[in-house]
Amino acid sequence: MEAQIKVKRFNPENGAKPFFQDYSIDVSEDSTILDGLIKIREEQDGTLALRCSCRASICGSCSMKVNGSAKLVCKTRIKEVSPQGETVTVEPMSNFPVIKDLVTEMDSFWSKVKSIDPYVKTNFEPEAEHIASNESMTHLLGVMNCIMCGACVSECTALEVDSTFTGPAALAKAYRFVADPRDEDKKERLGKLNESSGVWDCSRCLACVEVCPKDVAPMERIVKMRDLAIEEGYTNTSGFRHTESFSDSIKKHGRLDETRLALESTGLLNISGLIDLAVIGIKSLFKGKIPPPLPHKPKEADKVTNIAKRLDSEESEE
Buried/exposed code over 221-234 (b: 16+ C-beta within 10 A; e: otherwise) = bbeebbebbbeeeb
Residues contacting residue 228 through CB under 8 Å, at least 6 positions apart: 178, 186, 190
Phi and psi angles of residue 199, each rounded to the nearest 5 degrees, phi first? -65, -25
Q: Nearest-CA neighbor of 224 among 172, 189, 273? A: 172
For residue 312, CA distances in Å to 20, 261, 316, 318 come to 52, 19, 6, 10
Predicted confidence (pLDDT) per residue in 242-254, tens digit:
989 998 888 888 8
Antiparallel, parallel or unpaired: β 88-91 and 2-9:
parallel
Confidence of residue 73 (pLDDT cuts 50, 70, 90): very high
With a pLDDT cut of 70, the percent of the chain lying above it is: 99
User: What pLDDT is recorded for position 93?
Assistant: 98
DSSP H stretches of helix in 233-300: 238-253, 258-266, 271-286
DSSP H stretches of helix in 52-203: 78-81, 107-115, 134-144, 151-155, 157-161, 168-178, 186-193
Query: Counting beta carbons within 10 angstroms of the beta carbon of residue 88, is it exposed (0 to 12), middle (13 to 18) or buried (19 or more)?
Result: buried
For residues 237-265, give the mean pLDDT: 88
Confidence of residue 316 (pLDDT cuts 50, 70, 90): low
All domains in the chain, ordered by first residue: 2-104 (3.10.20.30), 107-231 (1.10.1060.10), 238-317 (no CATH)
Task: Look up residue 221 and give its amino acid.
Answer: R
Confidence of residue 305 (pLDDT cuts 50, 70, 90): confident
Confidence of residue 233 (pLDDT cuts 50, 70, 90): very high
User: What pLDDT is recorded for position 317?
Assistant: 61
Confidence of residue 61 (pLDDT cuts 50, 70, 90): very high
User: What pLDDT is recorded for position 28?
Assistant: 95
For residues 286-311, give the mean pLDDT: 82
Does residue 308 register a pLDDT over 80?
A: yes
Predicted confidence (pLDDT) per residue in 98-147, tens digit:
999 999 999 999 999 999 999 999 888 877 888 888 988 898 999 999 99
Q: Which residue has the higher pLDDT, 140 or 295?
A: 140
Distance, CA of 88 to chain centre? 25
Task: Look up residue 132 and give its amino acid.
Answer: A
pTM for this structure?
A: 0.87
CB atoms within 10 A of CB 186: 16
Predicted confidence (pLDDT) per residue in 14-37, tens digit:
888 999 999 999 999 999 999 999
Query: Counting beta carbons within 10 angstroms of the beta carbon of residue 159, is it exposed (0 to 12), middle (13 to 18) or buried (19 or more)?
Result: buried
Q: Report yes or no: 137 and 120 within 8 Å, Cβ to Cβ.
A: no
User: What pLDDT is recorded for position 318?
Assistant: 59
Longest Cα–Cα distance of the chain, Å, equals 68
Predicted confidence (pLDDT) per residue in 142-183, tens digit:
999 999 999 999 999 999 999 999 999 999 999 999 999 999
